[in-house]
Amino acid sequence: MTKPMEEMRDGQSIELLKELHILTRDGKINQDSRRKLKQVYHLYGFVEPLLKDLQQSGADLNLVDHGAGKSYLGFIIYDLFYKSLPNGHIYGVETRDELVKKSSELQKKLGFKNMSFLNVSVNESIQSQKLPENIDIVTALHACDTATDDAIDFALNRNAKHIFLVPCCQAEIAKALRQNKAKQLASPLTEIWRHPIHTREFGSHLTNVLRCLRLEAHGYKVTVTELVGLEHSMKNELIVATKIEGPRKRASDRLQWILNEVGLHDLQSRFATPIIQENIV
């Protein structure tokens, strides 16, 4: 155990950190939670300036965290930024009922009134009446498998201004590459994923490349960076997307080209969602 002071921010709720087991009962930092806290703080470093800009522009400050789990991210962002605001709302979307119940109880206990937790899948949340039309920020931190793609669907559907994704493992593309390997062998490009380990690694890499292109095709400026050093987490890629313009043909064409070249036509609907033709650049 070490002293928590260097990990703590001004005004942070000790009660929250204890409830999230980041601090022990006697107020020391819990070593097992240190990695999670580091990830969340690092992500918050990207989110905070955008929240300030949104606040100045008079935005509603609605944030949806998909695959929220125990809602570390939502609670810490609320505690550090939303707690003192008259407006703004953080929504956690999570399929595990017990986690949703626990987060709801904690939110009531702490008096974090502008937080809600929904027991629905990311995909179902797109139609949910419990979420407002206007969403400013979408986050998905290690949301499992295709939940990250569903979070992108949600963000595009709501025209979210900012999107933060730290993808988890996604097996869909690797599976499709594996299935199509024999058919694709004529192309020298197949060498990139011919060996099983390469199929998995390339599949994972390609998934994130296609996600970025999809966001760019919809007018987002995309930055890909590390969440924290690899010693802290193997799933370490942070994709930050900010809506800056209308649909972009170049990104859309490139996405399509890659899908065709590597024989992933069947995944059209996942990655190449039709974009509105007007205002295309």
Ligand X SMILES: C[S@@+](CC[C@H](N)C(=O)[O-])C[C@H]1O[C@@H](n2cnc3c(N)ncnc32)[C@H](O)[C@@H]1O
Query: Which residues here bind ligand X, judged by CB under 6 A?
Result: 67-69, 72, 93-96, 99, 121-122, 141-144, 147, 150, 168
> Quick one: 145 or 254, whose CB is closer to ligand X?
145
Tokens of residue 192, six digits: 């990139």
Half-sphere exposure of residue 102: CA atoms within 13 angstroms, side-chain side: 15
What is the smallest separation between the CB atom of 54 and ligand X, expressed in angstroms?
22
What is the smallest separation between the CB atom of 141 and ligand X, expressed in angstroms?
4
What is the smallest separation between the CB atom of 228 and ligand X, expressed in angstroms?
12
> Quick one: 170 or 252, whose CB is closer to ligand X?
170
What is the smallest separation between the CB atom of 122 and ligand X, expressed in angstroms?
4
Tokens of residue 259, six digits: 């899908």
The residue number with the shortest CB distance to ligand X is 69
Q: How far is 104 from 122, CA to CA, in rounded Å? A: 18
Q: Which residues pair with 222 in a beta bridge?
A: 241
List C-alpha distances in Å: 250 to 27, 152, 195, 226, 268.
53, 19, 31, 26, 17
Q: Which residue has the tokens 């956690």?
A: 92
> Quick one: 43 or 262, whose CB is closer to ligand X?
43
> Quick one: 122 or 241, whose CB is closer to ligand X?
122
> Quick one: 50 or 99, whose CB is closer to ligand X?
99
Q: In 3D, which of 190, 148, 210, 161 has the Cα closest to residue 50? A: 161
Q: Which residues contact 205 (CB under 8 A, 6 or more apart)?
A: none
What is the smallest separation between the CB atom of 169 and ligand X, expressed in angstroms?
10
